[in-house]
Amino acid sequence: MATVETIGGRLDPEDLGLTLIHEHFFSSDEAVSAQWPHVRQRDREYELALESAEAVKSHGVKTVVEPTAMLLGRDIPALQRLASDTGLQIVVCTGIYTYDHLPQFLLNRDEDFIASLFVHDIEEGIQGTDVKAAFIKCAADEPGVNERIEKVHRAAARASVRTGAPIMAHSRPATNTGPRQVEILLEEGVAAEKIQIAHTGDTDDLTYIQGLLDMIELLKRGHAERMFISQDFDVPIANGLDWFPPETVEQLQAAGAATNWSMTFLFEDIIPTLKDAGITDDQLDTMMVENPKRWLGV
Ligand SMILES: [Zn+2]
């Protein structure tokens, strides 16, 4: 029988319930955090993560899938604390979130070695805990699927083939990285139904409106069983998002960017809009309950 690993242990996929498939409670630059911990405000970050966790629970969410991998500051002890304080089911990953750079340690080792690191997280546990990864994260973005990115994808694929764990691949529609990513994963023998291409709704301009229109069109054509919906929200760290200094975040928000980005935006804005466009509760249930069950169950 299929099961799903979570922070709190192994679950029957039937118990996942309403699931957000892609949200980040704790993400930061792990090298900066290790070398200059004074720029982090961990207590405040925990409070903000707790607020987001409680907010999604109030919308009936039972499970959050947290795709924070290596180089994005994966923090299992913080997630363990959050899961036990809130009762939320949190599903975590292994993998590497890079668009290009790899540390020398990984540059000079091959795909099979990297795959064995991923398998360790899936079978033994992560960061010295007994929490196991339920899926594998990889990414391609502006630099494209170059040699280093291909290596990470092949390693993810080999770990998936060995363990059955599904893969979430961050993609960049603006430069069409998706097809090459899928090609590599399939070439390595990953089961097609275990591949999730993340960010297919993103476009460079008019992201929000275009993404919604594309989504409605796909749903109307009967593709709900192939789609997930989530926000990819990052709980802010320190005084803003980790990637930008606080003053840049303020400028971006003053210019209208991401002003209402939150872990509940989906429930407050997107879902009502989808329903107005004729998307049914059944289709939402397919994307937020049934698909996560099928993708994560191993
Ligand atoms: Zn993300």
CA–centroid distance, 272 to ligand 1, in Å, is 23
Residue 198 Cα to ligand 1 middle (Å): 8
Mean of pLDDT over the chain: 91
CA of 67 to the centre of ligand 1 (A): 6
Q: What is the separation of C-alpha 262 from the centre of its chain, rounded to a whole number of angstroms? A: 15
- Write down the pLDDT at residue 54: 97
Q: In angstroms, what is the span from residue 209 Cα to ligand 1's centroid?
A: 20
Radius of gyration of the chain (CA): 18
Measure 23 CA to ligand 1 centroid, in angstroms.
6
Residues 279 and 270: their CA atoms lie apart, in Å, by: 11
Quote the distance between the C-alpha of residue 89 and its chain's center: 15
Q: How far is the CA of 72 from the centre of ligand 1 (A)?
A: 9
When pLDDT is cut at 50, 70 and 90, the band that residue 248 belongs to is confident
pLDDT of residue 246: 75
Determine the 3-state secondary structure of 276 from DSSP: helix
Centre of ligand 1 to C-alpha 225, Å, is: 21
**Distance from the CA of 46 to the center of ligand 1, in angstroms?**
18
Q: Do the beta carbons of residue 167 and residue 197 sit within 8 Å?
A: no
| Cα–Cα distance for residue pair 75/26, rounded to 1 Å | 7
Distance 233 CA to ligand 1 centre (A): 7
Centre of ligand 1 from the C-alpha of residue 232, in Å: 5
20 Cα to the center of ligand 1, angstroms: 12
Q: From ligand 1's centre to the CA of 196, what distance in Å?
A: 13
What is the percent of the chain with per-residue pLDDT over 70, rounded to a whole number? 94
Residues 78-103 have a mean pLDDT of 97
Average pLDDT (120-133) is: 98
Which is more confident, 211 or 218? 218
DSSP secondary structure code for residue 170 in this structure = E
Q: What does the buried/exposed string (b/e) look like for 260-288 if buried means 16 or more CB atoms within 10 Å of the residue's CB?
A: eebbbebbeebbeebeeeebeeebbebbb
The candidate with the shortest Cα–Cα distance to 78, out of 148, 127, 22, is 127
pLDDT at 239: 45
Q: What is the dihedral of CA 153, 30, 87, 41, to 10 degrees?
A: -160
CA of 12 to the centre of ligand 1 (A): 25
